[in-house]
Structure 1
């Protein structure tokens, strides 16, 4: 694998050459030669990347190539943007006026490219000085060393196990089921969650040993060797003799498969495949070497990748290992830090600091085991434990044997673009709940998805990457949308530490989290978690930043001195929650490569006209609570704009937005600008939010939007203080599948809805009449969410809700009873009831809903929870009480 960052940047540089060739005619030869130089370097990096962790000289050499690759991309893109700005869509007179400027810029870029090529030649020549010659030849790679550390055996079973009792029972029961077919049980979870520990406990369980007299255990690992795996299993099934060993060494792959198949044929066997990384590894073993007869045989696999488990047996639900709860974490910590035994008691003077240390491990058994082992060797003094607590990350990283290997392997197995996605998460503060939508916009702005297809598909590809990281247990889903998409995510502290370490080493990424830190002059990605005392620290260092993000920085107006001329390479600028005063400096227009700009809750009052120069801008977020942002008429110039988020926008003249063919999201615009623009020209528009008042003619609006074929989601907000207008004409919106109505005192529901509506949200409408008789007529409705939407004491759900899969009733403060007719809601999968303070009990009909998989009760009273009937609770597979 070549260095992931350099590979991505070289790919992007090649794509850039193709996209901007019309603006690079005068320097095309130099640019192509530069691309060839970088490509040659990338081929050499395939070996160098494997040894970066072992050799500082190689690490420095790779870093020099990476910096050159970044500079190459910046040089080409900055030059192309200048020429494009002065020539695109300009008249002949303007082109002639700026022709001398173009010639000057061509000369400058030519000189810069030649300088960069000389730099690359010097880097190539320096290999011999560093002693870098035949990389990879006769050497053990860092990855192979990690694999050796990771090898597992069923013999060394950990006696200090906490929190696995129920899952052990479930797995043993699954293995012992009366099913003659060969079945697969699986355990999935992040590295260090205890998958192997649990598998050992099951493998050595007395009932399992009694049932399967033919058992084998093999650690498959990420560097899968099919021959070696087959040999390992055969050795466990036969007496070890020199004859057998010689024979196995001489056998080819097919012969080994046949031998194993015969050894297991007609036997009731159990095979544990520990640490399976790839679907291909499973296919090689399961389909060729393990008989699938009628002997009630079983396979148990562990994996960090949920997709591998599902692929192995789609009918078997994987057992997902979550992190330990607070009390289980504490009990495991006591056993590891104070010595073996179930009766370990913590000295009273150590309990407070001990619980804090256990909490820092965030429920990961691996971290608790490592830190506990370190403390076991120390004196039982409060000062010693506080030293570990105050330097938690440093102590943990010192123990790089098993802990480091397990987490490092997860990272090493990621494809290049997923590595970048993962380390980018390290920029966010510890324990952050991260908006997936925001993350996707940032990744797309970074150009990671450039090779995946048309622009409209980049967001889809980015969301797929979020799911891939979650399925690999590198990222945890924190919140889900009603249609079961990941809405928010978080990263376990230990994985975040890994991301930061890799980011600093490989990605020129820096986190500024103390006031006295200096900003590195080499930083490309910078997250500011704390502002220094020097208000001019950005000016003095002026690093070549591509991303600049601020977190938890409030009321520091005097300390932030952003000279935008110093940040012309920025692609991402996130100033969310930074109170900047009233206006954004007009110098923002100098940051021509900017693709993502968030000014959310910055309290700005006006956007300068120079924002119209940001022709590459994809995402503009100017949501400010309770404050209108004033703009001049430049939005239509942002031709690359995909997402515009506002709370309230004001313009001195009718705001022009038509012609933005890339625009996908337009949130909370006022009614009049929508009606004054030809919305049909917004050919990519998918989500639209509009403020309406008592004067708004909804019927005309729907007619206006009826030809916008890409529109899927419409959100209507009622402005404060006014009444709802007549909500008529919605049936004209054939393309809309998701409708949200927000605002107080909607007198009655509309008589017609979009005919293909599948998702409906009613928020703050405070209807007087039960809405269900109207809503039951929506034949395709699958998701219904009602929040503070109805003020009556009772709702009645009839049998006409044929398709409804998700129902949320939230903050219905007057609701006392839910009636469900017999046979109603045949498709319902999830019922969520949140903060309905007067609701007395659940409807009896829930007991008979075979489709109901999850019942979520959030912020409900203690009396309501204690009054739940046992048979009601037992009838739902997943009861979640928050």
Structure 2
């Protein structure tokens, strides 16, 4: 996959995160589904495009163009949500964004078709006439039951300390960091453990002003001030507004996908440590960032790869639902699961491609 295609997909993912920070949000479940699909495609292509460099020029350009078009529709959606709330226009923009993402999904299948092992499993699964409507749904809301990870994070969050605690979650792309942070965050909102909540997704292309804007947008429902940057407002003034929103309150903040110690140095001063027992979850791919940002009293949480057995069980569940895999497909399925390198999102994407390949297989036959 070309660098420009990858950058276009990352930009699209950031836009979707920004929309999810809005409250109240129309079409929330559809947008979460779109978010999960885009992030899964990114993770999948990071792996598979390296194996099939010959597809880069054509497929990379098509993915870039489709991602840019989807970005335009999501930007239009964001503008409409912030202004007119025109239901017909909102539906149209969201439908068009889904159409372009579905096209990228199909391009991902083109890459996967070059993987002989996965192609063989698709062929045999199709010939076994598995009923794909039996209830095996590929969704990202619970990619994996991160029960042990969730328990560890919550233990750190709820330890008896009034000091601000920074809790980093570390692991490579596709291993489930954001999913774990999202589950922790949403569980806490349901339990009303904190007074105020905020979420901001960063990226390798970090800009402080963008992060401040995302935090203010996320904090909008807790404050009486306008979340958008006021006319002539400086970055320092935005930072002051964020700080004052947190001051004197017990807050939970997620800083998702932080890439550098400099980014943390830029942000840490906006989080008051006033003895209210506040917590910050950081997700990062870089252990040095986690060590640098983490509280001295807590160690970072390292996400583990799935074992081969766990990978196979997840793939089997996503393809066959409550049914068992036919015996003649088990060995082949385990081979495909091994090739996913223990990454949950990659396994989910591969399962989705296999489940959605019926029409393609009929054409080949």
- Residues 1:240 and 1:170: Cα distance change in structure 2 (over 3 Å): closer
Q: Distance in 1 between matches of 2:232 and 2:345?
A: 39
Superimposed CA distance per residue, residues 543-572 of structure 1 (whole angstroms, 9 cap, x where no aligned partner): xxxxxxxxxxxxxxxxxxxxxxxxxxxxxx
- The SS at the match of 1:359 is helix
1:284 lines up with 2:269 in the alignment? no
Shift of 1:163: 5.2
1:178 lines up with 2:127 in the alignment? no
Contact 2:165–2:278 (8 Å) recurs in 1:
yes
Looking at secondary structure, tell me which structure has more helix per residue. Answer: 2
The equivalent residue for 1:817 is: none
- The SS at the match of 1:302 is strand
- Residues 1:224 and 1:260: Cα distance change in structure 2 (over 3 Å): same
Q: Distance in 2 between matches of 1:268 and 1:180?
A: 9
- Residues 1:249 and 1:216: Cα distance change in structure 2 (over 3 Å): farther
The equivalent residue for 1:508 is: none
The equivalent residue for 2:345 is: 366
After TM superposition, the structure 1 = structure 2 runs for residues 826-837 of structure 1, keeping only pairs within 5 Å, are: none
The count of corresponding residues between Structure 1 and Structure 2 is 243
| Residue among 298, 301, 317 paired with 2:282 | 301
The equivalent residue for 2:198 is: 216
Q: Distance in 2 between matches of 1:353 and 1:246?
A: 52
After TM superposition, the structure 1 = structure 2 runs for residues 113-128 of structure 1, keeping only pairs within 5 Å, are: none
The equivalent residue for 1:310 is: 291
Q: Distance in 2 between matches of 1:172 and 1:203?
A: 10
After TM superposition, the structure 1 = structure 2 runs for residues 527-538 of structure 1, keeping only pairs within 5 Å, are: none
Shift of 1:349: 3.4
Shift of 1:184: 0.6
- The SS at the match of 1:244 is coil
Unaligned runs of 5+ in 1: 1-51, 55-140, 388-882
- Residues 1:249 and 1:178: Cα distance change in structure 2 (over 3 Å): farther
The equivalent residue for 1:355 is: 334
1:379 lines up with 2:361 in the alignment? no
| Residue among 8, 18, 23 paired with 1:145 | 8
1:323 lines up with 2:272 in the alignment? no
Shift of 1:344: 4.8
- Residues 1:377 and 1:247: Cα distance change in structure 2 (over 3 Å): closer
After TM superposition, the structure 1 = structure 2 runs for residues 253-264 of structure 1, keeping only pairs within 5 Å, are: 253-264=235-246
After TM superposition, the structure 1 = structure 2 runs for residues 24-103 of structure 1, keeping only pairs within 5 Å, are: 53=2
1:195 lines up with 2:195 in the alignment? no
Q: Distance in 2 between matches of 1:241 and 1:262?
A: 10
- Residues 1:361 and 1:380: Cα distance change in structure 2 (over 3 Å): farther
Looking at secondary structure, tell me which structure has more strand per residue. Answer: 1
- Residues 1:246 and 1:377: Cα distance change in structure 2 (over 3 Å): closer
Superimposed CA distance per residue, residues 732-770 of structure 1 (whole angstroms, 9 cap, x where no aligned partner): xxxxxxxxxxxxxxxxxxxxxxxxxxxxxxxxxxxxxxx
- Residues 1:143 and 1:364: Cα distance change in structure 2 (over 3 Å): closer
- Residues 1:285 and 1:143: Cα distance change in structure 2 (over 3 Å): farther
Q: Distance in 2 between matches of 1:198 and 1:173?
A: 14
Contact 1:326–1:359 (8 Å) recurs in 2:
yes
Shift of 1:239: 3.8
Contact 2:220–2:227 (8 Å) recurs in 1:
no
Contact 2:166–2:295 (8 Å) recurs in 1:
no
After TM superposition, the structure 1 = structure 2 runs for residues 562-577 of structure 1, keeping only pairs within 5 Å, are: none
Superimposed CA distance per residue, residues 292-344 of structure 1 (whole angstroms, 9 cap, x where no aligned partner): 110000000000000111111252211111210122212221233346xxx35
TM-score by length of 2: 0.60
Q: Distance in 1 between matches of 2:295 and 2:194?
A: 23
Superimposed CA distance per residue, residues 795-815 of structure 1 (whole angstroms, 9 cap, x where no aligned partner): xxxxxxxxxxxxxxxxxxxxx
Contact 2:318–2:348 (8 Å) recurs in 1:
yes
Contact 2:213–2:229 (8 Å) recurs in 1:
no
1:232 lines up with 2:214 in the alignment? yes
TM-score by length of 1: 0.26
Contact 1:185–1:318 (8 Å) recurs in 2:
yes
> Pairwise CA RMSD of aligned residues?
3.0
Q: Distance in 2 between matches of 1:214 and 1:207?
A: 9
- The SS at the match of 2:276 is coil
Shift of 1:53: 3.5
- Residues 1:170 and 1:380: Cα distance change in structure 2 (over 3 Å): farther
- Residues 1:178 and 1:314: Cα distance change in structure 2 (over 3 Å): closer
- The SS at the match of 1:277 is coil
Shift of 1:380: 11
Contact 1:176–1:208 (8 Å) recurs in 2:
no
Contact 1:203–1:209 (8 Å) recurs in 2:
no
